[in-house]
């Protein structure tokens, strides 16, 4: 909708940046949003929060000079309203139409595209391995990544292509040299930053088990086999093969303290098993996932932290603001982790959410089988990740 040329409002419209809006939400302020995108886009992906009230009134309702009273009745007139759209054009126009009618409004700069550019680095305070560990958080899609640094070296796990420069800037800020860029698997919801970082001189690492899927650039990367170790100063990153979500799904144990589980296990859910082999192979993959969780993950000490590659709206952050939790806590809280195999498989297959948007093109790009420009890559990964099984049925009572 923002490809349209909207009339310039006759009144001055103030704006709020995505970072400012997130700061208000994080601070627990009451926020009222008017989302002017189409209903289908709104239902698939929107800004939520405990203190966020959101209404959806598509922009086309405001194109006529006389706006229907029923439309205006949907817009709160007793508080400040932030209007948003996809890229910022329609929201400024809608905000202008409302301000002319006496509403207290402003609009979100760059819309949901701007929201998708928020990327925060939060220290994992409970990490007790060598050096420091940070979790990257992308609130728009729930993507998570990790940066471990020790001495003058660092490694990033599950980097996003859209933030290639950010990792290099953060390494410079921390006074470290980024040695490794490591992927846990062939991602289906976002474009990996591995090859871009490799072009900047960072050693790229992919799971050896993922190569069979048709990775075209494997000879340019270091292949991680189960049990392999990578040194970052005095911190050790150990490869732990955990297939199930994909055939090559691999976790990495950082400093014997946190297991970066990729899409195998999250703090509120477990992986979905159907994105590689489809519905036909989902049952076998679910069985493989069960074995990986029971034998490779839950066998670790209970105080080992788990940090997945995603978080959902139902995830509750730890006291340090990261989406991490001890294995023992997850085992106590998540019924799926204490079931027998048959129960687990039946549960996982019973209620899977829609597949991630554009996942086939994203997978092809991550395999190197398809060339995708930076802007197209960014557009492909907008929206929810949907890489987990349904959260509603997985938690304990």
Q: Which residues are catalytic?
A: 85
Smallest Cα–Cα separation from 144: which of 156, 132, 154?
A: 156
Q: How far apart are CA 277 and CA 206, in angstroms?
A: 20
DSSP reduced 3-state for 311 = coil
Query: What sign has the CA pseudo-torsion 389, 391, 396, 397?
Result: negative
Smallest Cα–Cα separation from 276: which of 351, 356, 348, 343?
A: 356
Token couple for 217: 């650039």
Q: How far apart are CA 334 and CA 315, in angstroms?
A: 12
Pairing relationship of beta strands 81-84 and 31-35 according to DSSP bridges: parallel
Q: How far apart are CA 223 and CA 225, in angstroms?
A: 6
Q: What are the beta bridge partners of residue 251?
A: 240
- Where does 178-277 have alpha helices with state H? 194-199
Smallest Cα–Cα separation from 20: which of 9, 31, 6?
A: 31
Smallest Cα–Cα separation from 119: which of 173, 159, 178, 91?
A: 159
**Cα angle vertex 63, ends 62, 64, to 5°?**
95
Instruction: Kindly compute the dihedral angle of the four CA atoms of residues 103, 109, 111, 112, in this order, to the nearest 10 degrees.
Output: -130
Q: How far apart are CA 295 and CA 241, in angstroms?
A: 11
The DSSP output letter for 65 is S
């Amino acid at each position: 909708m923002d490809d349209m040329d909207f009339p310039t409002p006759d009144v001055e419209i103030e704006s709020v940046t995505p970072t400012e809006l997130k700061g208000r939400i994080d601070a627990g302020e009451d926020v009222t949003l008017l989302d002017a995108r189409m209903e289908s886009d709104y239902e698939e992906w929107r800004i939520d929060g405990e203190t966020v009230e959101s209404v959806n009134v598509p922009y086309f309702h405001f194109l006529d000079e006389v706006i229907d009273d029923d439309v205006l009745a949907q817009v709160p007139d007793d508080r400040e309203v932030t209007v948003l759209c996809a890229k910022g054009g329609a929201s400024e126009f809608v905000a202008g139409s409302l301000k002319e009618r006496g509403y207290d409004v402003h609009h979100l700069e760059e819309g949901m595209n701007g929201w998708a550019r928020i990327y925060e680095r939060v220290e994992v305070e409970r990490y007790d391995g060598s050096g420091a560990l940070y979790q990257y958080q992308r609130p728009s899609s729930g993507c998570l990544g990790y940066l471990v640094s020790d001495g003058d070296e660092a490694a990033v796990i599950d980097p996003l292509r859209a933030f290639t420069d950010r990792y290099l800037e953060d390494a410079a800020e921390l006074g470290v040299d980024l040695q490794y860029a490591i992927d846990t698997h062939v991602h289906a919801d976002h474009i990996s930053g591995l090859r871009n970082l490799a072009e900047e001189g960072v050693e790229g690492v992919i799971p050896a088990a993922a190569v069979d899927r048709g990775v075209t650039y494997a000879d340019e990367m270091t292949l991680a086999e189960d049990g392999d170790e990578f040194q970052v100063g005095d911190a050790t990153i150990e490869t732990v093969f955990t297939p199930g979500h994909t055939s090559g799904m691999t976790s990495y144990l950082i400093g014997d303290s946190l297991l970066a589980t990729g899409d195998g296990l999250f703090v509120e859910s477990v992986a979905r098993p159907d994105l590689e082999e489809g519905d036909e192979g989902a049952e076998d993959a679910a069985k493989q996932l069960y074995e990986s969780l029971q034998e490779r993950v839950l066998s670790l000490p209970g105080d080992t932290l788990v940090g997945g590659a995603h978080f959902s709206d139902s995830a509750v952050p730890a006291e340090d603001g990261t989406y991490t939790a001890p294995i023992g806590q997850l085992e106590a809280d998540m019924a799926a982790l204490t079931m027998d195999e048959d129960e687990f498989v039946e549960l996982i297959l019973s209620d899977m959410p829609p597949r991630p948007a554009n996942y086939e093109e994203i997978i092809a790009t991550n395999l190197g089988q398809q060339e995708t420009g930076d802007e197209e890559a960014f557009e492909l990964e907008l929206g929810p990740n949907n890489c987990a099984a349904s959260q509603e049925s997985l938690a304990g009572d």
